[in-house]
Structure 1
Amino acid sequence: MSRGAIGVLMLETRFPRPPGDIGNPETFDFPMLYQTVRGASPKAVVEDRETGLLTPFVTAGHDLVERGAVALTTSCGFLTLFQKELTAALPVPVATSALLQVPLIDAVLPDGQRAGILTISAQNLTADHLAAVGVPEDTPIGSTEGGIEFTDAILGNRETLDFALAEVDNVEAAQDLCRRHPEVGAICLECTNMPPYAAAIQAATGRPVYSIVTLVEWLHASAQTFRA
């Protein structure tokens, strides 16, 4: 049992996970626990919105708590749809998505600025996903769809990922978001596989970047008093 750890409800994937990715324990300097939810492929969660996966996620969450997790997160930002249900079913704090940070970002930015979202799939990120975690429906959104590597590799669950090309996709999508919406004063990365490129995005756009990594670091710092 690993006390004081953050538990991660993982999609069933095979693509590489470099440092910075939620699925790589080297991303964090505190203990992490991982539990794969069988049947929860990227396609099932992002494109098909399979609500039947809720029960397996709850079961996996209880397993992580029994193993010592003091709080839980997930490996897909689209799981905002399960935020209410998972917090109701599990005995520790649950943060399903980096998008939980958007209302806070909006609250702290200077007047006239707002958060923008960079997602792996704008066509699948719906008003329901945003409303589930209190994100304004008119929040500016950019996407790596149409890029040369990142979206296809992750949603296609490929065994290989060209990190250099994936970085290009993320940087160009973030720059496009800021060009289209100059009021964007900070960027929130919906996808948990985007943080390896956060530094490059920040350097290219001049905007602070929030992600599942910043959320988990906050969650770990604040959740140490919780015990199941």
Structure 2
Amino acid sequence: MEHVQKSPLPILGILDLEPGACPGKPPTPGTIQDPATFGFPVIRETAAGAWVDVVVPGDPELEPAFIAAAERLVQRGATAITADCGFSIRHQAAVAAAVGVPVALSALMLVPVILRQLPAGKLAIMTFDATCFGKDLLKIDDPIELGRIVISGVENTQTWVNEMARPPVPTSAEILQADVCSRIHQLREIHPDIGAVLLECTMFPRVAQSVRHFTGLPVYDITTLCRMLMDSTGARATEGIAFPT
């Protein structure tokens, strides 16, 4: 009988923003850095120079740093790669071309799927900063589909101020929830036909369940995409495994 070698344990690699992981500091529950969010191991590498206030408005000079960090993740055993900022979608094509594993850098990649799931109504994208969010990030050419997308962000809130600092200041779940839900409420007053919400920012999954309760709508985020991504590599929730760091 032919011997079949087991594939290595699937590992999610995360392209971190500056200042990167803090030694000894546990990851925030509910974020993509926390293995408990998924039940499979995660490893992280920082894209040098990728501070929030640079990544959000966009800087093409960051692309080599994203590629280099992705290559380090693959060398360490990552079987799929994501990023800790939805605006990293600007580097999706370059990173995917540079490494030989599945790459999904932003929850924005879910937009076409969600639109097709909605029988009618609009998709609300809740982003970190709507002033830096152009619909060109979505790579959608159909004007009808684009017309079904509405966008709001938490710019100029306490959450935004905290994250734009160098280094970022921790934001409590209570403040984050208030800032996100307030902007969603304002958006729904203008667009009462919103049928689903996509959370672009990788901080927002911490309050995704609160947003579901607040809106009564389906809510998608980067953890939705990461689970899909890792399912494709054969990852399943595991117990009793010493996850690499």
Highest CA radius of gyration, 1 or 2? 2
The one of 72, 77, 81 equivalent to 1:72 is 81
Q: Relative to structure 2, which stretch is displaced further, 127-136 or 37-46?
A: 127-136
Quick one: distance in 2 between partners of 1:137 and 1:106? 10
Aligned to 2:123: 115
The one of 5, 18, 24 equivalent to 1:12 is 18
Residues 53 and 195 of structure 1, relative CA distance in 2, 3 Å threshold = same
Quick one: distance in 1 between partners of 2:206 and 2:181? 11
Any stretches of 5+ residues in structure 1 without a counterpart? Answer: none
TM-score normalised by the chain length of structure 1: 0.89
Aligned to 1:196: 206
Aligned to 2:65: 56
Contact 1:100/1:133 (8 A) holds in 2: no
Q: Relative to structure 2, which stretch is displaced further, 128-137 or 29-38?
A: 128-137
The answer to whether residue 217 in structure 2 is matched with residue 211 in structure 1 is: no
The answer to whether residue 54 in structure 2 is matched with residue 29 in structure 1 is: no
Q: CA deviation at 1:114?
A: 3.1
Aligned to 1:176: 186
Quick one: distance in 1 between partners of 2:140 and 2:71? 22
Contact 2:163/2:169 (8 A) holds in 1: no
Quick one: distance in 2 between partners of 1:61 and 1:98? 18
Aligned to 1:186: 196
Q: How does 1:143-182 map to 2 (within 5 A)?
A: 143-147=153-157, 149-156=158-165, 157-182=167-192
The answer to whether residue 139 in structure 2 is matched with residue 124 in structure 1 is: no
Aligned to 1:81: 90
SS at structure 2 position matched to 1:141: strand
Q: Which residue type is aligned with residue 44 of structure 1?
A: V
Any stretches of 5+ residues in structure 2 without a counterpart? Answer: 1-7, 236-245
Q: CA deviation at 1:86?
A: 1.5
Aligned to 1:220: 230
Q: CA deviation at 1:154?
A: 1.4
Q: CA deviation at 1:127?
A: 2.7
Q: CA deviation at 1:155?
A: 2.2
Quick one: distance in 2 between partners of 1:106 and 1:204? 21
Contact 1:120/1:143 (8 A) holds in 2: yes
SS at structure 1 position matched to 2:49: coil
RMSD: 2.3
Identical-pair percentage: 33
SS at structure 1 position matched to 2:79: strand
Q: Relative to structure 2, which stretch is displaced further, 138-147 or 8-17?
A: 8-17
SS at structure 2 position matched to 1:218: helix
Q: Which residue type is aligned with residue 124 of structure 2?
A: G
Deviation per CA, 1:166-218, whole angstroms, max 9, x where unpaired? 21001111222222222221100010011001011110111111000111011
Quick one: distance in 1 between partners of 2:218 and 2:19? 29
